């Protein structure tokens, strides 16, 4: 047999790593790494039965999983087929950013077939976030009321196909035309339920990436006096695209004298955020989560907030330009907007040179999630996760921000921070 070329070896390695990534995600879900760490060590390696007992899983399946991990050099296997995790690897395999990247693979693969349809010219545009999970849109609107739904995408569905333009928003921005005006059915895009675990997965990843440095590094980067002002109290703070609410909750807990609001377009995320608080026994009362479209925030919020944050969420929106204009509107004069986004140059060649395999990972995440969830309108910008500094700066300036600083974030390995002050 002819020797494999370097490229053939590369393809083989990609295939193997894909299997290992899926197996790592499975091991995390079933807490198999934790179980192995409890019962196995270099001095006393574990047998599959011990890991199965601790994890509550079937021994034969655990044996196969251990074999995958051992053969793939994720854990160590001995000559007599016992297993352990080297001490220096336990923290990485039971938490941390590295293992968290593997959690995305099963989430993306659930919608593999439908993503294929989205790619085709005659296929749907993308995935319309969240509202496909609601059986009764009218009931949802009546329950939430106009203050929290304020011109959200639930209202678009009610529009007549012959009059697709939305009313002008309070800051007189351009209208968005609804996809309902075309000959493509409203629900022709991916269902958001295809990404049912994405919020939980993203929350796990964000927490692993941000928890340790959010208070100590991110907040001071917003300005030399921001932390002190938050501690003194009276600050009004908004987190846009809050997801399951990790960032807002951690900030509210650390700065009890200031007030925090988290908004997300998906009601599912808001439910998860409130459930997180309940599960964590969080009793502080300076935090609220609201379901709202960031591109059309409450009309009464003009000049309301001292600080607005957005963590890896601007690029997921159909119209991030409108979101940024809204953020500028709701900020008080002199207020600060901190946008943590995926680091990129707006050029794939430069991204590859600067970021290496991280660029491939982030473009992949964008292809399987960020692009389709933000593209289900013919007027969507379709920026994707790697929209980059050039495009971000352009939209920030168009939104009205003139004082913009782009800061590296060595503590947040995939990110860059845009700090913007409102005149």
Question: Is residue 10 located within the same domain as residue 51?
Answer: yes
Q: Does one domain contain both 143 and 250?
A: no
Residue 195 pLDDT: 57
Percent of the chain with pLDDT over 70: 82
Looking at the chain, the number of H-run helices and the number of E-run strands are 20, 9
Note the pLDDT tens digit of each residue in 299-317.
999 999 999 999 999 999 9
Bridge partner residues of 15 (DSSP): none
* 239 and 277 inside one domain: yes
Lowest mean pLDDT, pick from 216-220, 381-385, 387-391: 381-385
Residue (of 198, 202, 239, 217) closest to 417 by Cα position: 217
- Amino acid 196: pLDDT: 52
**Do strands 415-421 and 403-408 pair parallel, antiparallel, or not at all (unpaired)?**
antiparallel
Average pLDDT, the chain: 82
Mean pLDDT for 111-133 is 70
Regarding predicted confidence, which is higher, 176 or 364? 364
pLDDT at 84 > cutoff 80: yes
* Domain-terminating residue out of 81, 109, 137: 109
Structure-model confidence comparison of residues 168 and 419, the more confident one: 419
Please give the pLDDT value at position 155.
30
pLDDT at 187: 33
Residue 327 counted as domain residue: yes
Task: Return the CATH number at 266.
Answer: 3.40.50.150
In a domain, 121, yes or no: no
Q: Is the pLDDT of residue 129 over 90?
A: no
Averaged pLDDT, 379-398: 94
156, 210: one domain: no
Radius of gyration (C-alpha) of the chain in whole angstroms: 23
What is the pLDDT at residue 180?
26
Segments forming the whole domain that contains residue 31: 6-109
Please give the Cα distance from 368 to 218 (Å, whole number).
Answer: 28
Element (H, E) at 189: none
Reported as a pLDDT band with limits 50, 70 and 90, residue 199 is low
Q: Burial of 30 by CB count in 10 Å (0-12 exposed, 13-18 middle, 19+ buried)?
A: middle
153 and 228 housed in the same domain: no
Does residue 115 lie within any of the structural domains?
no
Q: Which two tokens stand for residue 301?
A: 């919020």
Q: How confident is the model at residue 67 (pLDDT cuts 50, 70, 90)?
A: very high
Choice between 237 and 105, residue whose per-residue pLDDT is larger? 237
Domain check: are 203 and 171 in the same one? no
Over residues 45-53, the mean pLDDT reads 98
Instruction: Establish how many alpha carbons lie within 13 A of residue 260's alpha carbon, considering only the half-sphere containing its beta carbon.
Output: 25
Which has the higher per-residue pLDDT, 43 or 179?
43
C-alpha closest to that of 312 among 236, 405, 218, 402: 218
pLDDT score of 172: 33
On whether residue 367 sits in a domain, the answer given is yes
Residue 158 three-state SS:
coil
Nearest residue to 294 via CA among 215, 176, 179: 176
Residue ranges of alpha helices (H) inside 132-223 are: 137-149, 153-156, 198-210, 219-221
Give how many domains the chain has, as a whole number.
Answer: 3
Question: pLDDT by residue (tens digit) across 201-220?
Answer: 777 777 877 888 999 999 99
Q: What is the rounded average pLDDT of the residues 404-408? A: 98
Residue 114 lies in a domain: no
Are 315 and 348 in the same domain?
yes
For position 358, what pLDDT does the model report? 87
Q: Which of 188, 203, 227 is where one domain is finished?
A: 188
Q: Which residues pair with 218 in a beta bridge?
A: none
Q: In what order do the strands lie in the sheet containing 415-421?
A: 287-291, 259-264, 236-240, 305-311, 331-342, 415-421, 403-408
Predicted pLDDT at 133: 27
d(CA 87, CA 85): 6
Q: How far is CA 114 from the centre of its chain?
A: 20
Assess whether 138 and 245 both reside in one domain. no
């Amino acid at each position: 047999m002819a020797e494999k070329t370097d490229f053939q070896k590369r393809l083989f390695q990609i295939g193997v790593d894909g299997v290992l990534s899926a197996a790592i995600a499975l091991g995390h879900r079933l807490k198999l790494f934790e179980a192995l760490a409890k019962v196995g060590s270099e001095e006393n390696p574990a047998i599959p039965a011990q890991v199965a007992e601790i994890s509550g899983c079937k021994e034969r399946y655990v044996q196969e999983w251990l074999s995958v991990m051992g053969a793939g050099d994720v854990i160590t296997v001995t000559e007599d087929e016992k297993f352990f995790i080297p001490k220096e690897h336990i923290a990485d395999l039971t938490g941390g950013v590295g293992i968290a990247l593997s959690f995305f693979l099963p989430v993306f693969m659930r919608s593999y077939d439908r993503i294929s349809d989205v790619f085709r010219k005659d296929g749907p545009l993308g995935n319309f976030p969240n509202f496909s999970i609601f059986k009764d849109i009218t009931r949802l609107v009546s329950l939430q009321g106009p203050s929290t739904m304020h011109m959200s995408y639930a209202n678009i569905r009610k529009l007549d196909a012959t009059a697709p333009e939305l009313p002008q928003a309070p800051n007189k921005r351009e209208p968005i035309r609804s996809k309902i005006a075309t000959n493509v059915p409203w629900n022709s895009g991916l269902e958001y339920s295809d990404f049912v675990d994405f919020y939980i997965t993203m929350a796990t990843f964000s927490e692993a990436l941000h928890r340790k440095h959010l208070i100590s590094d991110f907040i001071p980067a917003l300005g030399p006096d921001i932390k002190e002002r938050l501690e003194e109290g009276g600050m009004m703070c908004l987190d846009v695209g809050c997801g399951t609410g990790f960032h807002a909750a951690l900030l509210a807990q650390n700065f009890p004298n200031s007030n925090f609001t988290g908004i997300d377009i998906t009601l599912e995320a808001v439910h998860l955020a409130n459930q997180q608080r309940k599960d964590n026994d969080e009793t502080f009362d300076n935090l609220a989560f609201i379901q709202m479209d960031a591109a059309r925030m409450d009309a009464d919020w003009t000049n309301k907030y001292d600080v607005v944050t957005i963590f890896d969420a601007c690029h997921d929106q159909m119209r991030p330009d409108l979101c940024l204009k809204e953020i500028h509107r709701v900020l008080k004069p002199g207020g600060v907007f901190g946008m943590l986004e995926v680091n990129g140059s707006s050029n794939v060649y430069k991204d590859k040179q600067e970021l290496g395999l991280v660029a491939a990972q982030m473009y992949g995440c964008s292809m399987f999630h960020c692009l389709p969830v933000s593209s289900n309108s013919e007027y969507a910008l379709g920026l994707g996760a790697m929209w980059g500094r050039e495009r971000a700066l352009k939209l920030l300036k168009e939104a009205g921000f003139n004082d913009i600083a782009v800061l590296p974030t060595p503590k947040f390995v995939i990110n860059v921070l845009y700090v913007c002050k409102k005149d």
